Structure 1
């Protein structure tokens, strides 16, 4: 991305009230904004001029958000995509992430949180993290994750994780150096939108630290951001 110009954002959504408000807010926040009224028009816009990031609704006529992601990725375009999903449809969120979306936000959403998410994803892209989503293997220090087989190693030793702990580790390693609140991790990975269930995240983080041999007071992998959530500290590379 050329840092001397305004980052180019494409909004793909059939709700004009949302696109008008978001385009104005993103424009005031320093972005060059284009709008497409559905997934089919969005693909045309991507072909015409590849943006730095796409904000895309899931439920749209002609081509929905998940199909939009699939078609963009099928063209070997790894531009970042943030999906706008419906609250409560956790299967939509997990499926979309599996198919190549970089992040998601529940509808209705706080527009300022969207701005924060856009900037975080663009920072990852600028740091060269965009290929992480497409990689079959990820490495951080001596930790290796095979995303195809869902297996994990430290050095030559394979580690045994519960399915939820694996999903949490994969999500964190795909979003290095970002702080994720417990509520966000619950919503993204478990489909819960209630803060009262946030202890489930703490239990899984404790499991990960135990299996990884990570020290909470001097972590190599997962850091607790006081009163905020968790962050994956280690640099992540592909291969």
Structure 2
């Protein structure tokens, strides 16, 4: 029998912790808690969970501090942020720092459990297959799926795990328009719907990292989704 996936929930509100404890255990997780930044770092020093939930506002720091520290230490476990409904800047910052998803308060604990299950599945490599040599190429862009590296015009590009999977998906369907729903299902593995805004934010991150004065490759198809294609031939 397989052991349950572990989740570390970093949240200072006791009521939210109680709700998430019951719901996430029911969803099949082994749940661990930390109430502030020092407790979270102590827990992570002992053991790396399969997935992490970070509240943005914490005593003695914030969820961004934890994310930056663990990513700097090479921890690649997927991270889901808990943010206030109107905190758009927090959501963007969290995704740019290497977070993988977010939910806004107040939230459904059932939805959080489903999102965490999707993050764990995705982190285990349930993504589209690559070319025979393990490298996907388009224009001057190359993604090496064996080494998990991305280069454009010979320059290495540092991507978060979610940015990498999004680029992989788009590179697997060049010159095709992929809807936001298709991207959510393939990259985030949501089978219950989801916030298409997270797709827009990750696409924005990818553009920022890939372009830098180069020919744009990821194009918005208004009202539909996105396409990886060249603007010139």
Deviation at 1:70? Answer: 0.7
- Counterpart secondary structure, 1:54: strand
Deviation at 1:127? Answer: 2.1
Match of 1:205 in 2: 224
Q: In the superposition, relative to structure 1, how do residues 142 and 120 fare at CA in structure 2: closer, same or farther (>3 Å)?
A: closer
Contact (CA 8 Å) 2:76, 2:161: kept in 1 or not? no
Matches within 5 A, 1:106-121: 106-121=104-119
Contact (CA 8 Å) 2:98, 2:161: kept in 1 or not? no
Deviation at 1:188? Answer: 6.8
Match of 1:90 in 2: 88
How far apart, CA to CA, are the structure 1 residues paired with 2:41 and 2:126? 24
Encode CA deviations 1:171-218: one digit per residue, 9 max, x unaligned: 85992544584x71237747xxxxxxxxxx983425x35x749xxxxx
How far apart, CA to CA, are the structure 2 residues paired with 1:92 and 1:187? 13
Contact (CA 8 Å) 1:85, 1:107: kept in 2 or not? yes
In structure 2, runs of 5+ residues without a counterpart are: 128-147, 149-159, 202-219
Q: Does 1:175 align with 2:173?
A: no
- Counterpart secondary structure, 1:83: strand
Contact (CA 8 Å) 1:132, 1:174: kept in 2 or not? no
Deviation at 1:25? Answer: 1.6
Q: In the superposition, relative to structure 1, how do residues 189 and 88 fare at CA in structure 2: closer, same or farther (>3 Å)?
A: farther
Encode CA deviations 1:65-123: one digit per residue, 9 max, x unaligned: 11111111010100111110110111110110010111100011011110110111011
In structure 1, runs of 5+ residues without a counterpart are: 145-153, 156-167, 191-200, 214-239
